[in-house]
Amino acid sequence: MKMRAKLTGDTVEVKVIISHPMETGRKKDDFGQLIPAHFIQLVTVTLNDKPVLEMQWGTGISKNPYLTFYLKSAKLGDKITVNWVDNLGQSASGEIAVVQG
Amino acid sequence: MQRRNFLGVIMAASATALLLPLRAMAAVWNKAAFEANKLNEAEKGLAINGEIPSKDIEIVAPDRAENGAIVQLEVNSRIPNTEAIAVFVEKNPTALIGNFMFSNGALPQIVTRIKMAETSDIKIIVKAGSQYFTASKNVVVLENGCG
């Protein structure tokens, strides 16, 4: 997971890229076999362990999901954490501190 | 009990066990809404009713997308007390793309990339208190992105 959190004025802009195939379950491989669905379902973002953004995703989010969001309540050095869980029960998390933009 | 059934029970039980900590941190994935094929069924799955058209929902997406696999979408709600933004693509095999829920100082504004199977409206529904607001934008898709 790649993350960046920059403070400009009173708003922190957070950008996140997650490596994930986001397979719909409708695509076939080179041998004509269906590739099983494999996609992120739940994403939680916390600011200093307090929830700020909760997302539910379907198969319509593009491969290697990209996300930008904005926080009014964050300061320099604050900790932003992103957690995701997919339909196969796999999960990962990433963490970054807010820096000056 | 057949062997296959037995294995199924064991796997379901262990899956439930794995999911328990997750339920503590986030809501359960809305299967009914995400697996619905039709837009109105997906909306029903999210308990959306009586949506009001609004000019205070800004949608930034290309008029024409070369590749439907990656369509960049920005949504910005200027509706006071926006709690959630739901994104739908009317003509996708499953219409609901995602639901984004904000709290504790997160601004109701997101940028992400979505898949579009064919030329369609992107429909946004904003939840503010007990009310729902909506806006749409049409995107012409030149190459299918929903394999």
pLDDT band, residue B22 (cuts 50/70/90): very low
pLDDT digits (tens, 9 = 90+) for A8-27: 999 999 999 999 999 999 99
Provide the residue range defining the domain that includes B101.
Answer: 3-141
- Which helix (DSSP H) or strand (DSSP E) does residue B97 occupy? strand B96-102
**A3 bridge partner residues:** A16
Task: Identify whether B83 is part of a domain.
Answer: yes
Query: For A42, which of B18, B22, B106 is closest by C-beta distance?
Result: B22
* Complex ipTM value: 0.96
Task: Identify whether B147 is part of a domain.
Answer: no
Q: Which two tokens stand for residue A85?
A: 């869980």
Could you tell me which CATH class the domain A2-89 is placed in?
Answer: mainly beta
- CA–CA gap between residue A55 and residue B111 (Å, rounded): 13
pLDDT digits (tens, 9 = 90+) for B47-75: 998 999 999 999 999 999 999 999 999 99
Q: Which residue of A has its CA nearest to B112?
A: A67
The domain total for chain B is 1
To test the contact with chain B by mutation, choose from A11, A62, A64, A73 the residue with the greatest count of B C-beta atoms within 10 A, namely: A62
The average confidence (pLDDT) of chain A is 96
Task: Identify whether B38 is part of a domain.
Answer: yes
Q: What is the CATH number of the domain that holds B81?
A: 2.60.40.2470
pLDDT tens for chain A, 101 residues long, are 999 999 999 999 999 999 999 999 999 999 999 999 999 999 999 999 999 999 999 999 999 999 999 999 899 999 999 999 999 999 999 999 999 98
Quick check: pTM over 0.95?
no
**Residue B145 Cα, gap to closest chain A Cα (Å):** 9
Task: Identify whether B120 is part of a domain.
Answer: yes
**Residue A94 Cα, gap to closest chain B Cα (Å):** 16
| Predicted pLDDT at B106 | 97
Query: For A73, which of B18, B69, B105 is closest by C-beta distance?
Result: B105
Task: Identify whether B146 is part of a domain.
Answer: no
For residue A13, CA distances in Å to A58, A97, B50, B66, B98 come to: 24, 12, 33, 28, 20
**Residue B114 Cα, gap to closest chain A Cα (Å):** 4
Exposed/middle/buried for A59, CB within 10 Å: 0-12, 13-18, 19+? buried
